[in-house]
Chains A and B, each alone.
Chain A
Amino acid sequence: MSDLHHDPANITNPEHHDHHIVGPSTYLVIYGTLLALTAITVAAAYVEMGALNPIVAVLIAVIKATVVILWFMHMKYQSKLLKLTIGAGVFTFLVLIAMTLSDYMSRAWGLW
């Protein structure tokens, strides 16, 4: 690590965010939100909405997962690199679902 090859100005990640500490009051609000959403999703399952039932259930699950990722997993306070990373993961998962389903559906056309 001689100074010849070492540029101190270049070692700080420009993406660096100072370590953000999320406090108990925020966590309590998130905890309450998640419990409330659980109650809502159970209640919604008992309401007959036909094809809408699965959609509502998955939608509420997506909201809950987003809340967990943003606050419990601190994504809200992370660098763009990490935000892009989790975004890439979700995107790849959606590609898995979309491409596989479109293949199955087009092979049994009219049976879906």
Chain B
Amino acid sequence: MVVTQPGELHEEHEHEHVHLPQHRHHFETEEQQREAASFGMWLFLLTEIMFFGGLFMAYLLYRNWYNPAFVAASHTLSIKLGALNTAILITSGFCMAMAVWAAETRKRKALVNFLGLTNFFGIAFLVVKYFEYAEKWHDSHIPGLKFSIADFGKLGVDMAQKTQVYYSLYFAMTGMHALHMIIGIVLIFWYMVRANRGEFTEGYVAPIENFGLYWHFVDIVWIFLFPLLYLIDLGAK
């Protein structure tokens, strides 16, 4: 039995391994632990793909069924705010990528700052989203709560009612996306405190790395939501 003290090199392996405090005993090596955690995170993201996938599937189907309603309703969204939010979220994703780099290169201050910037742009996204939702409230475009077909009279009553399907999906999809962002923002605050203590800049980067995967996944969901909800029916009359 080889007894290894923390910090002591394990020499029988192909490359050298330092036993670090975060190394759990059921993993043979630090790499194995890191890869297992990364694999687990990707498996979780696969379930997320299927979760949002169901919503995308519903959107695809109803968009074909009630196309005139979807065209008219999508025209009530602000392309400017949607594009602005896309840029804000991409900027947030860039800061997150830089945070992972800062953790890997052991820059404690830079890591805390990049996490802060990631959070700043994440919150900015939600603020813009709030103004978009407020506009929907003002225009009575919220199914079940405050809805009127007044803006869609030319579709005929039946088809005008179907704009509620579009808005239901709009709020379900952007709302679920926003919920993911809120969870992420809370986690980032927690990671900022821990990063400030230097927990992730001594070689233990897995939490930051795996949180980055989550944050980028949420980015990707928006990358699809923006064209589908705002853009694709712009040219249709």
Residues of A within 8 A of B (CB): 1-3, 8, 11-13, 16, 19, 21-24, 27-28, 30-31, 34-35, 38, 41-42, 45-50, 53-54, 57-58, 60-61, 64-65, 68-69, 71-74, 78-79, 81-82, 85-86, 88-90, 92-93, 96-97, 100-101, 104, 112
Pairwise interchain contact A41-B227, C-beta atoms closer than 8 A? yes
Tell me, rounded to whole Å, the shortest Cβ–Cβ distance linking B183 to chain A. Answer: 18
Give B70-84 interface residues, CB cut-off 8 Å to A: 79, 83
Residues of B within 8 A of A (CB): 1-2, 12-14, 28-29, 31-32, 34-35, 38-39, 42-43, 45-46, 49-50, 53-54, 56-57, 60-61, 64, 79, 83, 86-87, 90-91, 93-94, 96-98, 101, 104-105, 209, 212-213, 216-217, 219-220, 223-224, 226-228, 230-236
Question: Given A19-B34, A92-B46, are A68 and B61 also a contact pair (CB < 8 Å)?
Answer: no
Pairwise interchain contact A104-B61, C-beta atoms closer than 8 A? yes
Give the secondary structure class of B's interface.
helix
Q: 10 other contacts beyond A45-B235, A81-B35, A89-B45, with CB at 8 A cut-off?
A: A11-B32, A45-B230, A49-B235, A57-B228, A68-B223, A73-B212, A78-B38, A85-B42, A96-B50, A97-B56
Pairwise interchain contact B61-A100, C-beta atoms closer than 8 A? yes
Pairwise interchain contact B104-A21, C-beta atoms closer than 8 A? yes
Question: Given A65-B223, A65-B224, A89-B46, are A11 and B28 also a contact pair (CB < 8 Å)?
Answer: yes
Tell me, rounded to whole Å, the shortest Cβ–Cβ distance linking A70 to chain B. Answer: 11
In Å, the complex CA distance between A21 and B230 comes to 36
A61's contact among B12, B32, B223, by CB below 8 Å, is which?
A: B223
Question: Given A35-B87, A45-B234, A47-B235, are A27 and B34 also a contact pair (CB < 8 Å)?
Answer: no
Tell me, rounded to whole Å, the shortest Cβ–Cβ distance linking B125 to chain A. Answer: 14
Pairwise interchain contact A42-B231, C-beta atoms closer than 8 A? yes
B49's contact among A12, A27, A90, A100, by CB below 8 Å, is which?
A: A90
Question: Given A42-B79, A85-B43, A104-B61, are A24 and B50 also a contact pair (CB < 8 Å)?
Answer: no
Pairwise interchain contact B105-A21, C-beta atoms closer than 8 A? yes
How many residue pairs, one in A and one in B, have C-beta atoms under 8 Å apart?
157
Give the secondary structure class of A's interface.
helix
Q: Can you list 17 A-B contacts (CB < 8 A)?
A: A3-B2, A11-B29, A12-B13, A12-B29, A22-B101, A31-B91, A46-B235, A53-B236, A57-B228, A57-B231, A58-B232, A68-B216, A68-B220, A73-B212, A82-B39, A86-B42, A100-B61
